[in-house]
Amino acid sequence: MTDTVSIVVPVCERYSDVGALYAAYKAGAAALGRPYEFIFVLDGPHPAVAARLRQLLDSGEKITVVALTRAFGESTALMIGFEQAQGEILVTLPAYFQVEGSEIGKLVTALGSADLAIGRRWPRAGGWFERLRRAAFHKFLAAVTQLRFHDLGCGARALRRIVAQEIQLYGDQHRFLALLADRRGFRVQEVQVRQSQQDRFLGAYGPREYARGFLDIFTVFFLVRFTKKPLRFFGMIGVSTFGVGLLLLAYLAVARLFFDQELADRPVLLLASLLVVLGLQFFALGLLGELIIFTHARGMKDYQVEEVSQFPEVSPVRETGTSMR
């Protein structure tokens, strides 16, 4: 690898004028004072963007364009961009005006003390509802993961190549790259960057996006907290469910034996039996997960070694004296 900074721009559903965007990003990259490259990944057919990028290529701009046959998602686009990158430092930037291009240097500089630097737009534009929604999202995420960040929706990041090699992104997990990197032992730092004055997105989401976001949070919560301890997750649910069902069955047994109450036509009996069975199934699922983890434990690695220090090797002492007779 070289000291080149590889800038990956995934072009998905939302994008701006790629020509003006590239000019802004290029000015920020040139200010780094080191070699750089741009990699645009077209996630699906985007004829207008592809034509504009072709014009840039024909004009002599040193960019790489990767066009995918269909839309696979931003996480996949980022992973493909990382595979094409030549540099040891990778930078991800959105395909629309979100942060000022001049802020790229802040993210790269932050890698002097971190493995991953994520942007935090500040001061942040937006109305009161947008601020409330954003604050509620990050507080909920902090409650379930014990990790506190402020702007995971920012697509401006800088990371060392080893982070991209160790973490496999899929689905919509690109938003939670900081959480996944922290779990693997990488040093993550949040950097304040200026929001672009051309960012006009009002943050309007539909019920489908909120539902997908909630499921993504649940997925990341499981990956961060219980990937190598599935029995703690499923066992906790199983024991709770089994315990409630067992208490209901005990109540029914006491009512039948000592108070002569009939059990026929009582829905609570079916509910208690269902809870007991579900509790056992959850517990068995946790045990099965533990067996799978145990089987593959040797090939799993969820830590990073920062440094190995050793005492200097001491040469053995050669005896050169004469023996006494």
Q: Do 134 and 40 have their domain in common?
A: yes
- Indicate whether 320 belongs to any domain: no
**Residue 90, strand partner residues:** 6, 159
Find the distance separating the first CA and the last CA of the chain, reported in whole Å. Answer: 65
Q: Do 40 and 177 have their domain in common?
A: yes
Q: Do 140 and 192 have their domain in common?
A: yes
Per-residue confidence at 322, pLDDT binned at 50, 70, 90? Answer: very low
Q: Which residue has tokens 């401006």?
A: 156
Instruction: Indicate the residue among 195, 211, 226 that finishes a domain.
Output: 226
- Does the global pTM surpass 0.85? no
Q: Do 94 and 64 have their domain in common?
A: yes
| Angstrom distance (rounded) from CA 58 to CA 61 | 7
- Indicate whether 89 belongs to any domain: yes
- Indicate whether 198 belongs to any domain: yes
Q: What is the pLDDT of residue 323?
A: 43
Per-residue confidence at 325, pLDDT binned at 50, 70, 90? Answer: very low
Q: Residue 118: which CATH number? A: 3.90.550.10
Instruction: Indicate the residue among 209, 226, 243 that finishes a domain.
Output: 226
Q: Do 246 and 207 have their domain in common?
A: no
- Indicate whether 316 belongs to any domain: no
Q: Do 58 and 102 have their domain in common?
A: yes
- Indicate whether 325 belongs to any domain: no
Q: Do 238 and 190 have their domain in common?
A: no
Candidates 118, 110, 43; CA nearest to 74 is 43
| Angstrom distance (rounded) from CA 108 to CA 102 | 11
Helix axes 230-258, 267-295, angle to 10 degrees: 150
- Residues 161-215 pLDDT 10s: 999 999 988 878 899 999 989 988 899 999 999 999 888 665 556 677 767 777 7
The CA–CA distances, whole Å, from 171 to 42, 127, 141 equal: 16, 29, 18
* Residue 237, domain extent: 230-299
Q: Which residues contact 45 (CB under 8 A, 6 or more apart)?
A: 67, 70
- Residues 224-264 pLDDT 10s: 777 677 787 888 888 999 999 999 999 888 888 888 787 77
Instruction: Indicate the residue among 198, 226, 254 that finishes a domain.
Output: 226
- Residues 95-137 pLDDT 10s: 999 999 999 999 999 999 999 999 999 888 777 877 888 888 8
Q: How many domains, in total, are found in the chain?
A: 2
What's the whole-number average pLDDT of the chain?
86
Q: What is the pLDDT of residue 102?
A: 95
What single string gives the DSSP state of each residue in 104-171? HHHHHHHTTS-SEEEEEESSPP--HHHHHHHHHHHHHHHHHHS---S-TT---EEEEHHHHHH----T
Are 300 and 228 in contact, with CB atoms under 8 Å apart? yes
